[in-house]
Amino acid sequence: MKKELISLLCILILGSCSDKKGNENETVDVVMVGGGIMSVTLANMLNELDPKLTMVTYERLDSVGLESSSAWNNAGTGHSALCELNYTPELADGSIDTHKAVEINESFEVSKEFWSYLVAGKKIGPAKSFINPTPHMSFVIGEANVKYLRKRYLALQKEPLFTGMEFSDDQKQIRNWIPLVMNGRDASQKVAATKIDIGTDVNYGALTSELATNLVKSGKMKLELNHEVTDFKRNSDGTWKVYTKDLKNNVTRIINARFVFIGAGGATLPLLEKTHIPEAKGYGGFPVSGEWLVCNNPKIIAQHQAKVYGKASVGSPPMSVPHLDTRIINGKKELLFGPFAGFSSKFLKNGTWADLPESFNFYNIRPMLEAGLDNVPLTKYLVEQVVLTPEQRLAALREYFPKARMEDWDLKVAGQRVQVIKIDQSTQGGILQFGTEVVTASDGSVAALLGASPGASTSVSIMLKVIEKCYKEQLKTPQWQTKIKEMIPSYGQNLSGNIALANIIRKNNSEKLGIIWKEIHRDTLKVDVP
């Protein structure tokens, strides 16, 4: 009996050692850290380019798309610069800079191309489960803002991709567009609005789930939920040892990866630092939380069908742009107003209060401190937002919905975003950067995405940059070139400079996704205000 017990014990020990060794020696082509829109987008693109690639995605929560990609945690606008005024700043000479607006608009078209390709192949969909046509509008109050909006409209009339936009400073016309915004408003108030019907509402949480399901069901990607990536170590052969922890069973495992993508939202920064690649030095992050007022009255929700974006107050950051926002979430129409900003030291909604202090290190402490000193208006804005009373939030809402009542709205906590802080190469100081940034190792073995809006809407364009940097040799092959142009027909071309191509792309996207488009005619581009 004693010998049998000893033999059984040896078998168990050897079996355990064998499992551990097997885990450590397992090598996959791709490890995705984080189950958000960025990771699953890249995974689907790589699978289309090379179906033989082996992939594993690790997500610390019990489902994908629950953090920044969740419908309740992001604006869901389908950011295409049709209504977001912060993408068309007024320059010192009084002109309007449309460069960023055109760039973002083109990037969103690229996203729609890839989604159309997947929907047509019945790999995701139906399209209405994640994208729905919704007019995009800008609305401003006051003579100076009306003047700005008129100039913006005129500038965008020269850009083919913005064909179909209308402008009005007539209260009666605007009331026809958005009665909820105009009813009860002072008739003498100076207001103006632009409207364009080709806008969309996108549920990125639903899209993330669709993209992940496509790969998991087909056996092309292994999805490990409730698993957290804790560390990285470089192997002698150039691959990466990825340390993961099973949060349910408290078991640590190791897997080797030829390529690692870190798309973990706010958690990306501390994970990127653990790779110790030189390119990661000097980056910092500043977390900002958000809140929405969510309408609970179906009669009010039914009266509004548009995304109405306003203008941020003087001195406020771009993230403070207020909007009265029609959303389709899980098949149900919703109405949100906000966002109201707040402060939390967490880098994720499900993070810890130690995230911010633990992110400080020798390389980023100077740029982080300098960025803080250079952004006093942001600090002031956040303090003011944190102490807002319910009455003050209601007053802000009434700027866009004059007849709003407090009992028709509930306050809901939105997601966390982490704004990038980086070294300014010209001054070696720190700058706070709005938007997104891709950081890659020199050998292309690691890529990470930092930042926030308009990330989700431009996810396909951003992941194309990752592929171009990390799979540059494969991308040169005829096979990859043929496939990528099948996935994204406009790849390598400029839509804003090619009206014929833009019409073909938008028509195809509209048919596959069930959205609205308007044909561009060069001779109908307006340069005046009606």
One-character DSSP codes across 206-255: HHHHHHHHHHHHTTS-EEEETEEEEEEEE-TTS-EEEEEEETTTTEEEEE
Report d(CA 326, CA 100) in Å as an integer: 25
Neighbours of 475 (CB within 10 A): 15
pLDDT, position 10: 41
Is 214 domain-assigned? no
pLDDT, position 378: 62
pLDDT, position 4: 42
HSE (CB half, 13 Å, CA atoms) of 67? 27
Measured CA distances, 227 to 10, 67, 500 (Å): 30, 15, 47
Is 470 domain-assigned? no
Is 348 domain-assigned? yes
pLDDT, position 383: 63
Cis peptide leading into residue 390 (ω within 30°): no
Which of these, 34, 74, 75, 38, lies nearest to 56 by C-alpha position? 34
One-character DSSP codes across 296-349: --HHHHHT--SEEE--PPTT--GGG--EEEEEEETTEEEEEEEEEEE--S-SST
Report d(CA 47, CA 181) in Å as an integer: 46
- Residue 223, beta-bridge partner list: 57
Report the domain count for the chain: 1
Q: What is the mean pLDDT of each run of 10 residues along the chain (530 residues)?
A: 42 38 73 95 98 97 88 78 93 96 96 98 96 97 96 96 96 98 96 97 95 96 96 95 96 96 85 92 74 95 96 63 92 91 65 60 54 56 71 94 97 75 56 73 94 81 96 97 98 94 96 94 56
pLDDT, position 265: 79
**Per-residue pLDDT tens digits for 496-529:** 999 999 999 999 999 999 999 999 986 655 544 4
One-letter amino acid of 366: R
Please return the burial class of 216, using the count of CB atoms within 10 Å of its CB with bins 0-12, 13-18 and 19+: middle
Is 73 domain-assigned? no
Which of these, 61, 14, 467, lies nearest to 224 by C-alpha position? 61
CB 265, CB 68: distance < 8 Å: yes
Range of the domain at 395: 284-436
Is 485 domain-assigned? no
Work out whether strand 55-59 and strand 166-168 pair parallel, antiparallel, or are unpaired.
unpaired
Which of these, 161, 185, 158, lies nearest to 174 by C-alpha position? 185
pLDDT, position 415: 73
| Radius of gyration, CA atoms only, the chain | 25
**Distant-in-sequence, close-in-space partners of 217: CB < 8 Å, separation ≥ 6:** none
pTM above 0.75, yes or no: yes
Work out whether strand 323-329 and strand 332-342 pair parallel, antiparallel, or are unpaired.
antiparallel
The length of the chain in residues reads 530
Is 351 domain-assigned? yes
Element (H, E) at 418: strand 409-423
pLDDT, position 79: 83
pLDDT, position 291: 85
Burial 87-103 (b: 16+ CB within 10 A, else e): bbbeeeeeebebebbbe
pLDDT, position 34: 94
Report d(CA 486, CA 235) in Å as an integer: 36
Is 146 domain-assigned? no
